[in-house]
């Protein structure tokens, strides 16, 4: 088959690909990391590029010989990644490690959207650095189901290698900034959801996308770091915390560990809202029950017409002044899109002003600026996402025979939970109104849990025991879930 030569002008790169290849696949082949949250289905409109004929979707346009592609049609992502979380102090007792003149300990939170690496002094436990980057797997789809499906069709190697390389780069940079070498890292602990776990370790993902949606491996995994492409100390071990079930993975275990939820005196609901909404209900008396619900990537800007991640130019908050909506833009410049927290605020304000009704009906597209707007499709995407989270909370409480009003605190983990306005979340029914005054943001709790396990070997071992004791509820197999989900699609009435 003939080879087609394609030039990417903005990056100064070129590549030869087979005839019939899409521009999106050519970008990937050239080492560019395009944003393709719909997985190349032509639905999200986020992969626009310029060619001689005009602006096109890269995933829907095939290459031709001598084509020059300008990717600057899409603004570069300048995203704020949440790295800090509520950290529970623990004794520094990492256990035995290979010898190094400058020992370092690493912890990694491999999220669907972002990767955060933490570095600690291997003699004192003091944190000496933290770095982050967007997860390069986003070029294969915005949510974990799309990525798992891609791995089944094309193999996991590409999805595995791109995150391994990203983590390796972050660790090397962190070590060098501390006057050390990557090979001085003598211990590493990782967390991530079940899909990230399987893709990183190249474990087949078929069991995650087919009923009964179980991970192939739940127990903690320990491997030599060099065997999974991390160029740290040749004898260093990499410890992945345990998975709980379905898409409730080691990141949720990290959250539980950070909050010490298993020993909590207060009845606690932990919620991590992202493309997958993981939640854990319980305390030291009743134990812990967990579930996961597929919210989709709307809260991260995907599938929203003007949606974007939280970065410069994003409308991140909206409020009402003198009967009109007023927007705040990250960086205080021109608005170029709207991120999840802004979307939530906007919907709450539109509901209060009667621009949308409780069914979500929007009579005409609402413009925040000349270029940034919300249309009926965007409202529906938000309803689908918020209903999934809300239904999961209701089913979880029902399974444990816990009335909502008995929940004493709601710990919101993750970036979206950290930046959202609790009133807006409750006003549109994402979170129960009864719990608005009990909401506590805890930041990147998964990353905090990974650090705790890295610094204390006993905590790492305890995390595996905790995971084995958590009762997992598979919502997809719950006979009541669909009915509750449909009920929760409504925004309800705004309270005065």
Q: Looking at 259, 283, 312, which one is the last position of a domain?
A: 259
Q: Over the stretch 451-487, which tens digit does the pLDDT of each residue have?
A: 999 999 999 999 999 999 999 998 888 889 999 999 9
Give dist(CA 133, CA 284) in Å, integer.
Answer: 36
Are residues 175 and 223 both part of a single domain? yes
Segment 196-204 mean pLDDT? 95
On average, the pLDDT of the chain sits at 92
Please check whether residue 391 lies inside any domain of the structure. no
Domain contains 417:
no
The answer to whether residues 139 and 239 belong to one domain is yes
**Residue 192 domain-assigned?**
yes
- Determine the Cα–Cα distance for residues 98 and 237; give it in Å rounded to an integer: 9
Question: Is residue 64 a part of any domain in this protein?
Answer: yes
Decide the pairing of beta strands 373-374 and 366-367: antiparallel
3-state secondary structure of 1: coil
Q: Outline where 226-313 has alpha helix (H).
A: 250-259
Q: Who's near 45: CB < 8 A, 6+ residues apart?
A: 57, 305
User: What gap in Å lies between CA 77 and CA 72, rounded to an integer?
Assistant: 11
Helix (H) or strand (E) holding 395: helix 376-399
We report the CATH number of the domain holding residue 15 as 3.10.20.740
pLDDT at 418: 87
Residue 496 exposed, middle or buried by CB count within 10 Å (0-12, 13-18, 19+): exposed
Q: Answer for the pair 247, 276: CB distance below 8 angstroms, yes or no.
A: yes
Domain membership of residue 243 (yes or no) is yes
The C-alpha atoms of residue 201 and residue 224 are separated, in whole angstroms, by 12
Phi-psi region of 301 (alpha: psi -120 to 50; beta: other; left: phi over 0): left
Same domain for 58 and 15, yes or no, is yes
Distances (CA, A) of 433 to 120, 351, 390, 491, 495: 40, 15, 11, 12, 10
pLDDT at 74 over 70: no
pLDDT at 82 over 80: no
Reduce the secondary structure of 409-425 to three states and give it as a string.
EEEEECHHHHHCCHHHH
Tens digit of pLDDT for each residue in 207-265? Answer: 988 878 899 999 999 999 999 999 999 999 999 999 999 889 999 999 999 999 999 99
Mode of pairing for the β-strands spanning 287-293 and 471-473: parallel
Q: What sections of 230-339 are H helices per DSSP?
A: 250-259
117 is a domain residue: yes
Question: Are residues 110 and 251 both part of a single domain?
Answer: yes
pLDDT of 78 reads: 64
The tens digit of pLDDT for each residue in 116-125 reads 999 999 999 9
Does 237 lie in the same domain as 110?
A: yes
Could you read off the pLDDT of 28-68 as tens digits, one per residue? Answer: 899 888 878 777 888 777 888 999 888 999 999 999 988 99
Considering the domain architecture, whether residues 196 and 118 belong to the same structural domain is answered as: yes
Q: Which of 114, 131, 140, 141 is nearest to 310 (CA)?
A: 114
One domain for residues 39 and 185: no
List Cβ neighbours of 7 (8 Å cut-off, separation of 6 or more): 13, 14, 66, 67, 68, 69
154 and 50 assigned to the same domain: no
Residues 111 and 19 in one domain: no
Cβ atoms of 288 and 280 closer than 8 Å: yes
65 shares a domain with 15: yes
The domain that holds 143 is classified in CATH as: 3.30.420.480
Q: Is there a domain that residue 139 lies in? A: yes
Q: Does residue 62 sit in the same domain as residue 119?
A: no
Q: What is the pLDDT of residue 73?
A: 65
- Looking at the structure of the chain, the number of domains it has is 2
On whether residue 83 sits in a domain, the answer given is no
Place of tokens 């436990």: 125
Which residues constitute the domain of residue 172?
104-259
Single residue among 259, 285, 316 that ends a domain in this structure: 259
Say what the pLDDT of residue 87 is.
81
Closest CA to 372 of 333, 399, 425, 424: 333
Residue 415 phi/psi, 5° resolution? -65, -45
Residues ≥6 apart with Cβ < 8 Å to 96: none
Cα–Cα distance, 433 to 477 (Å, whole number): 27
Q: Are residues 129 and 174 in the same domain?
A: yes
Span 299-346, pLDDT tens digits: 887 789 999 888 889 999 999 999 999 999 999 999 999 999 999 999
247 within 8 A of 267, measured Cβ to Cβ: no
Last residue of a domain, one of 259, 282, 301: 259
pLDDT at position 492 is: 72
Query: What are 356's two structure tokens?
Result: 């949308």
Where residue 240 falls (left for φ over 0; alpha for ψ -120 to 50; beta otherwise) is: beta
- On whether the CB atoms of residues 270 and 128 are closer than 8 A, the answer is no
Model confidence at 26: pLDDT above 70: yes
């Amino acid at each position: 088959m003939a080879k087609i030569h394609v030039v990417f002008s903005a990056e100064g790169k070129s590549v030869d690909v087979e005839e019939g290849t899409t521009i999106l696949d050519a970008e990937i082949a050239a080492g560019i990391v395009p944003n393709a949250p719909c997985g190349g289905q032509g639905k999200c409109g986020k992969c626009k590029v310029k060619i001689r004929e005009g602006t096109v979707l890269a995933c829907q346009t095939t290459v031709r010989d001598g084509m020059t592609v300008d990717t600057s049609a899409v603004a570069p992502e300048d995203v704020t990644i949440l790295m800090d979380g509520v950290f529970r102090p623990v004794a520094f007792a990492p256990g035995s490690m290979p010898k190094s003149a400058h020992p370092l300990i690493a912890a990694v939170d491999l999220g669907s959207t972002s990767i955060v690496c933490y570095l600690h002094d291997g003699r004192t436990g003091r944190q000496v650095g933290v770095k982050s980057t967007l997860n390069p797997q986003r070029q294969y789809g915005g949510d974990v189901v799309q990525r798992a499906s891609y791995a089944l069709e094309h193999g996991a190697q590409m999805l595995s290698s791109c995150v391994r390389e990203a983590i390796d780069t972050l660790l090397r940079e962190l070590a060098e900034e501390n006057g050390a070498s990557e090979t001085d890292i003598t211990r590493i602990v990782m967390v991530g959801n079940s899909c990230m776990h399987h893709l990183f370790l190249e474990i087949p993902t078929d069991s995650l996308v087919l009923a009964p949606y179980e991970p192939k491996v739940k127990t903690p995994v320990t491997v030599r770091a060099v065997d999974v492409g991390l160029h740290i100390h040749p004898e260093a071990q990499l410890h992945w915390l345990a998975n709980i079930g379905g898409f409730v993975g080691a990141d949720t275990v990290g959250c539980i560990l950070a909050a010490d939820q298993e020993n909590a005196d207060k009845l606690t609901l932990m919620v991590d809202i992202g493309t997958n909404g993981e939640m854990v209900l319980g305390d030291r008396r009743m134990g812990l029950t967990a579930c996961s619900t597929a919210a989709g990537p709307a809260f991260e800007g995907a599938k929203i017409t003007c949606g974007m991640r939280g970065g410069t130019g994003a409308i991140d908050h909206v409020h009402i002044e003198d009967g009109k909506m007023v927007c705040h833009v990250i960086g205080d410049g021109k608005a170029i899109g709207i991120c999840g927290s802004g979307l939530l605020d906007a919907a709450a304000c539109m509901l209060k002003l009667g621009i949308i009704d409780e069914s979500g009906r929007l009579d005409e597209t609402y413009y925040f600026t000349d270029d940034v707007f919300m249309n009926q499709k965007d409202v529906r995407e938000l309803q689908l996402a918020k209903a999934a989270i809300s239904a999961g909370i209701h089913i979880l409480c029902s399974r444990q025979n816990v009335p909502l009003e008995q929940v004493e605190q709601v710990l919101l983990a993750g970036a979206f939970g950290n930046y959202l306005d609790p009133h807006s979340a409750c006003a549109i029914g994402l979170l129960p109104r009864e719990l608005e005054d009990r909401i506590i943001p805890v930041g990147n709790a998964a990353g905090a849990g990974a650090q705790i396990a890295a610094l204390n070997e006993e905590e790492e071992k305890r995390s595996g025991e905790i995971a084995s004791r958590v009762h997992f509820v598979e919502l997809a197999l719950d006979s009541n879930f669909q009915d509750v989900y449909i009920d929760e699609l409504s925004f309800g009435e705004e309270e005065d």
